[in-house]
Amino acid sequence: MASRGKTETSKLKQNLEEQLDRLMQQLQDLEECREELDADEYEETKKETLEQLSEFNDSLKKIMSGNMTLVDELSGMQLAIQAAISQAFKTPEVIRLFAKKQPGQLRTRLAEMDRDLMVGKLERDLYTQQKVEILTALRKLGEKLTEDDEAFLSANAGAVLSQFEKVSTDLGSGDKVLALAGFEVEKAKK
What are the sequence ranges of the domains in the chain?
1-100
Phi-psi region of 158 (alpha: psi -120 to 50; beta: other; left: phi over 0): beta
Quick count: other Cβ atoms within 10 Å of Cβ 138?
21
Cβ neighbours of residue 184 under 8 Å, at least 6 residues apart? 73, 76, 77
User: Taking 90 as the threshold, does the pLDDT of residue 184 lie above it?
Assistant: no
At residue 114, the pLDDT reads 94
Tens of pLDDT, residue by residue over 111-150, are 999 999 999 999 998 899 889 888 988 888 889 999 999 9
Whole-angstrom Cα distance, residue 136 to residue 89?
9
Three-state DSSP class for 94?
Answer: helix
What's the rounded mean pLDDT across residues 150-170? 68
At residue 120, the pLDDT reads 94
DSSP characters over 6-34:
HHHHHHHHHHHHHHHHHHHHHHHHHHHTG
Tens of pLDDT, residue by residue over 68-115, are 555 555 554 554 455 455 556 666 677 667 667 788 999 999 999 999
